[in-house]
Structure 1
Amino acid sequence: MVRFRERVVERLAGYEGRLVGLARALHADPETAFGEVRAAERLGGLLEGAGFAVERGVAGLPTALTAVCGSGDLTVGVCAEYDALPGLGHACGHNVICAAGAGAAVGLSAVADELGLRVKLLGTPAEEEGGGKALMLEAGVFDDVTVAMMVHPGRADDVDPRSSTTAVARFEVVFTGRAAHAGLAPHLGVNAGDAAVVAQVAVGQLRQQLPDGYRVAGIVRHGGERTNIVPDRTVLEYEVRTPTAAELSGAKERVLNCFRGAATATGCGVEVRATQPDYLDLRNDEWLMGAYARGLAAAGREVPAPPAGPRRLGASTDMGNVTHALPAIHPHLGLAGADADPHTPRFAELAGGAAADDAVRAGALAMAFAAVELACDPQRRAHYLALRG
């Protein structure tokens, strides 16, 4: 196994500048969900140059891609995210995810054929909103993948397989009423703005009755046109989070009743539309996470000991859907010296700095080393191949 690791390191050394350049280019040119045109092209171009067969527009998604190299019965899928946040840019570090994923794939290409390993990088758009991985799963893009992995930047390395995320449902609510002059004849109107207010109050009252770990959040995207017009249309966006996917539908139904009740109270019509597939809770594969942790140590990182007690993070990811379908991991990759959490302006700054450059290399090596360990372990290899049928 050592000689395979050495060849991975040697291959990555020749690509390190290009990988860091990819992360920095994405950081300087952020694109949001399903609009990651230049990011996808940069990623695809780098992998084509490394000898991968690249297919663009997979699953009917213009900014999704796959890149394949090597042959064998064991297919390791590496997920690369590259969407940014509106107004915050790469405040979730997806530029690092993308470059580290590309690095893992390129490193493995040096040993893939000898190990009977097929490497499949999956360029997955719209993680922040839209569920690119869920859509790709539904389209069968993961059907030939034996195991999958990715890394996500954060304050510190986290290789605890118990770490999880919440399930989330996101939806749009539209209230429709009847417009009228707010000063001359308000009694002739049906106020969709009132429906939005009643719904928000109802949701606020519901929150105190929800179990620990449940979350409900929302915004009013459109509240009316002018103060002198009774609003005939309002649009809200809401999300419901629960610790597990099994709890999600029941919690969502309770929240939806708040909107239905608001429509009844105000005489408005109401329509609800899901804005993305539901995200499922994350289920990390224990052995794969252990292999990743060993790979991270071999890459020169001090691997933290898992803390005592259960672990569940408040965020959500469509990688959770992947972990429900096949063995997969989603460890956190620390940005050295990070003093902020993702989804903040400060983290966006960190994701474009020297610590992010170091994380790209460490994450790429750790994932590649984990795949090498799996390929070299006949028993474990047979186990995962049997799981995937």
Structure 2
Amino acid sequence: MPSATASTIVEDVVQQRRGDLVELSHSIHAEPELAFVEHRSCAKTQALVAERGFEVTAGVAGLDTAFRAVFGSGSLVVGICAEYDALPGIGHACGHNIIAASAVGTALALAEVADQLDLTVVLLGTPAEEAGGGKALMLDAGVFDDVAATVMLHPGPIDIARARSLALSQVAVEYLGREAHAAVAPYLGLNAADAITVSQVAIGLLRQQLAPGQMVHGIVTDGGQATNVIPARTEMHYTMRANDSGSLRELEARMSDCFLAGAVATGCGHQVEATEPSYLELTPDKWLADVFRAEMVRFGRTPVAAEFEAALPLGSTDMGNVTQVMPGIHPIVGIDADGASIHQQAFAAAAAGPSADKAVIEGAVMLARTVVELAETPAQRDRVSQLKAERDRA
């Protein structure tokens, strides 16, 4: 009998660990935790690879819920990103439990062929994707420095092999005025709530002139404390998105003028502060994405045609920061959510359903086989290794 190929081995490993991986997904789903405090989810994501013999380093980049788990000592170092943070109020409505479990499955599968493929497998626990930019912080801290290529997947309502995302930045805008009695002497006050109103009117008018791909959305987090007191302090948070970083910088400048308008019109002081690192746009590696697309088709999935992928950006992710630095992919693996999309309660419910379990297993297989293909294709292995060497020299 011929010996099993690496691609066959990794698929078999995932199928053998099916029960453990689905259990992991459901366990994380059942105990949703927010950005930077995903302590239980982080520990759960480490457990199976630690048992397999991965060397786990916790608290990397100074983040309590970030980790690196390493297996093997091969010349090609491949990273697999696991996310596990949830959303306030709606839990795992982005399906990060699926991401974590599929990443663990990929890592366990590749560990079985690491020596055969001259591979080092690095499972990266990356917190705070929904708010906080864990991957950006880990990049800056050097956690990805030895990695030549990075893969992960994300659940969604449809299958997209070469998924794109928007560049993003988020700010907190504070207005400082002067309190006064709203009936007795309102003329003595400087109304910080009015500053927000003026700013939001300016932003509403700006929307007509936004470039394609640019968008803004925000909330008021402090609008005052009592109706009979002119508010002396207010605050709002705004998110800005654009197709690429250059367009985002242009949008930020225009939004800055809108924030200033509120202060000028009311006489209030104001300050604008970034609330987290900027998220750069995804630039998925075409070769890796094409291999993953073939894997989707092999499983009977119907990914969006390549010519339409660029027209379907799905929000923003700090994985974009990673793909700006090295070859990587962030495909969308479809689950049945009865018409719901990410960040909806119905999607959170679906993220622990049968199609989500299928996405965990098939997703892990597809990612693992994509990495195997990379390791076994000399030209592509050389390409990512050369890009890594150029990063090291820069």
- String of CA shifts for 1:332-388, please: whole Å, max 9, x gaps: 001146421111011111001111111100000000001111111112111110111
Root-mean-square deviation over aligned CA pairs:
1.4
Secondary structure of the structure 1 residue equivalent to 2:172: strand
Q: Which runs of 5+ in 1 are unaligned?
A: none
Looking at structure 2, the residues matched to 304 and 261 of structure 1 have their Cα atoms a distance apart, in angstroms, of: 46
Structure 1 position 56 matched with structure 2 position 58: yes
Looking at structure 2, the residues matched to 141 and 301 of structure 1 have their Cα atoms a distance apart, in angstroms, of: 36
Looking at structure 2, the residues matched to 66 and 284 of structure 1 have their Cα atoms a distance apart, in angstroms, of: 23
Secondary structure of the structure 2 residue equivalent to 1:196: helix
Stretch deviating more after TM superposition (14-23 or 143-152): 14-23
The alpha-carbon deviation at position 308 of structure 1 amounts to 3.6
Q: Which runs of 5+ in 2 are unaligned?
A: 390-394
Looking at structure 2, the residues matched to 2 and 247 of structure 1 have their Cα atoms a distance apart, in angstroms, of: 49
Partner amino acid for 2:371? A
Structure 1 position 290 matched with structure 2 position 290: yes
Question: TM-score by structure 2 length?
Answer: 0.95
- 2:348 maps to 348
The alpha-carbon deviation at position 171 of structure 1 amounts to 0.5
Secondary structure of the structure 2 residue equivalent to 1:272: strand
- String of CA shifts for 1:200-220, please: whole Å, max 9, x gaps: 111111111111221011100
Looking at structure 1, the residues matched to 214 and 347 of structure 2 have their Cα atoms a distance apart, in angstroms, of: 26
Which runs of structure 1 show a deviation greater than 6 angstroms over 4 or more consecutive aligned residues?
A: none
Structure 1 position 358 matched with structure 2 position 358: yes
Secondary structure of the structure 2 residue equivalent to 1:251: helix
- 2:126 maps to 124
The alpha-carbon deviation at position 303 of structure 1 amounts to 4.1
Structure 1 position 145 matched with structure 2 position 144: no
Stretch deviating more after TM superposition (345-354 or 335-344): 335-344
- Asked if 2 retains the 8 angstrom alpha-carbon contact of 1:294 and 1:366, the reply is no
Looking at structure 1, the residues matched to 115 and 246 of structure 2 have their Cα atoms a distance apart, in angstroms, of: 41
| Aligned length in residues | 386
Looking at structure 2, the residues matched to 146 and 307 of structure 1 have their Cα atoms a distance apart, in angstroms, of: 25
Partner amino acid for 1:385? S
The alpha-carbon deviation at position 301 of structure 1 amounts to 3.2
The alpha-carbon deviation at position 314 of structure 1 amounts to 4.6
Question: TM-score by structure 1 length?
Answer: 0.96
Partner amino acid for 1:388? K
Secondary structure of the structure 1 residue equivalent to 2:311: coil
- String of CA shifts for 1:121-147, please: whole Å, max 9, x gaps: 111111111111111111111111110
- 1:175 maps to 175
Secondary structure of the structure 2 residue equivalent to 1:208: helix
Structure 1 position 219 matched with structure 2 position 219: yes
- String of CA shifts for 1:204-258, please: whole Å, max 9, x gaps: 1111111122101110001001001110100100011111111111111100111
> Share of identical aligned residues, percent?
47
User: Following superposition of structure 1 onto structure 2, how do residues 1-389 of structure 1 map, counting pairs within 5 Å?
Assistant: 3-159=5-161, 161=162, 163-298=163-298, 300-304=299-303, 306=305, 308-309=307-308, 310-336=310-336, 338-389=338-389
- String of CA shifts for 1:54-105, please: whole Å, max 9, x gaps: 1111101111111110111101100111111111100011000010001000
Looking at structure 2, the residues matched to 22 and 337 of structure 1 have their Cα atoms a distance apart, in angstroms, of: 20
- Asked if 1 retains the 8 angstrom alpha-carbon contact of 2:159 and 2:304, the reply is no
Looking at structure 2, the residues matched to 293 and 75 of structure 1 have their Cα atoms a distance apart, in angstroms, of: 22
